[in-house]
Amino acid sequence: MSDYISRADLLSWLEKVSQSRDLVAPVKIEDLTLFQKVERVEDIVFDPGNTDLSPKEFFFPKSEVLFYVDRSDGRVELVPAEVEQETVIFGIRPCDAKGIAVLDLPYLEEPADALYRQHREKTTLVGLSCVSACPECFCTSMGTTPDDASNVDIMLTEVEEGFIVQVVTEKGKALLPEGLLSSKEVSPPAAPSVASVPSEGIAEKMHQVFDSPYWDRLADRCLHCNVCSYVCPTCYCFDVRDLRSGGRVERVRSWESCQSPGFTKIAGGYDPRAAKGPRLRQRFAHKLLYFVEKFGVTHCVGCGRCVRSCPVNIDIREVIQDVQGLGVKSEA
Ligand code: SF4
Ligand code: SF4
């Protein structure tokens, strides 16, 4: 027997949730499917494949005020921003949920990022298992699976006319009213098959090919448009600026990318990654080598978005395959 909820009961529950919290879920906006604050639960797209952007912006917004300077009363005070609203993200896929768990590693490492921690604490994740996989997905090669419930608070799996419900955390339990779920004899559908890439031992191989001319050759066609970083659920680089707004000064954090020219420029004008090759190598070395060495997991969850979005078809799956094939330092 499984805990079960019908689709009609799920929608009424979500309607109630949206009255006390921000409810965020995949919705259609012209040709895109994006996680957005939901105004009407009927607008939720239940089978969007993989949304065009991940929900990382609800933890690490595209642009966010960190604090502002208060000069009233003749004093100068730095007033930190606070997250007040509770949020429920509905319909997050296992790869994106793992993406948030990956973001936790640098952002919650002490000293933790205060604003990121508030976003995390005020947000409940309701996941949806994948019953089909996009052609670009390779999650099973990057440490997760289409039905992985380990990074959400509640996991739903669609079955005929309803959903199997797994309550994973106390936070998830607290969101569900007493008596909402029923028991039903129902089996989950078979997990979809997902393409695999040869990721075994990739960090060691990245070491070996670090100085290969492969990176310059690959970077020849890169436009450094930054799209791969912006669509990625795990990329977390940012820039910080002080801006005037409404008569006060705010410190604002905004998404940035290691692919931007000048991203690593330092005082005096020196840029250790001024050339295209080292810049592109940095993206893959961070994902497949440095992050693995520091945190023990790849900085990629296999969502396939960068594969779909790159205008010149630079494909991380092919890069992994190529790196494994290059073998040793002397081989170019
Ligand atoms: S999306 Fe493609 S072209 Fe754009 S920066 Fe990334 S790898 Fe380069
Ligand atoms: S590197 Fe590409 S495939 Fe991996 S998590 Fe980021 S967007 Fe998804």
256 and 107 fall within a common domain: no
What pTM did the predictor assign?
0.94
Residue range 133-152, pLDDT digits in tens: 999 999 999 999 999 999 99
Q: 326: closest CA among 216, 219, 214, 222?
A: 214
> For a pLDDT cut of 90, what percent of the chain falls above it?
87
234 CB under 6 A from ligand 2? yes
Query: Which strands, in side-by-side order, build the sheet including 182-184?
Result: 32-37, 22-29, 87-92, 123-128, 154-159, 162-167, 2-6, 182-184
Which of 258, 306, 321, when mutated, tests ligand 2's pocket best, judged by the most ligand atoms within 8 Å of its CB?
A: 306
DSSP letter string, 69-85: EE-GGG--EEEE----S
**What six digits make up the tokens of 252?**
């604002």
327: confidence class by pLDDT, cuts 50, 70, 90? low
CA dist 225 → 23, 198, 287 (Å): 32, 27, 18
Check: CB of residue 9 under 8 Å from CB of residue 168.
no
How many structural domains compose the chain? 2
Residue range 8-42, pLDDT digits in tens: 999 999 999 999 999 999 999 999 999 999 999 99
Residue range 39-75, pLDDT digits in tens: 999 999 998 688 999 999 999 999 999 999 988 888 8
162 and 274 fall within a common domain: no
98: confidence class by pLDDT, cuts 50, 70, 90? very high
End-to-end CA distance of the chain: 57
pLDDT in the model for residue 83? 96
Q: Which residue has the higher pLDDT, 252 or 248?
A: 252
* Distance (Å) from CA 223 to ligand 1 centroid: 6
Amino acid type, 52: D
207 and 166 fall within a common domain: no
Atom of ligand 1 nearest to the CA of 229: 6
Last residue of a domain, one of 184, 212, 240: 184
Range of the domain at 243: 202-326
Which of 52, 53, 220, 222, when mutated, tests ligand 1's pocket best, judged by the most ligand atoms within 8 Å of its CB?
A: 222
Please report whether residue 189 resides in a domain: no
Q: Quick one: average pLDDT of 165-188?
A: 95
pLDDT in the model for residue 330? 44
Helix and strand totals (H; E) in the chain: 11, 12
Average pLDDT over the chain reads 94
Please report whether residue 195 resides in a domain: no
Residue range 120-134, pLDDT digits in tens: 999 999 999 999 999
Last residue of a domain, one of 136, 155, 184: 184
Residues 6+ apart with CB under 8 A from 42: 11
**What six digits make up the tokens of 157?**
């799996």
From the CA of 98, the nearest ligand is: 2
Please report whether residue 25 resides in a domain: yes
Instruction: Compute the distance between CA of residue 37 and CA of residue 87 in angstroms, rounded to an integer.
Output: 9
From the CA of 279, the nearest ligand is: 1
Residues 6+ apart with CB under 8 A from 190: none
Check: CB of residue 89 under 8 Å from CB of residue 95.
no
Check: CB of residue 309 under 8 Å from CB of residue 231.
yes
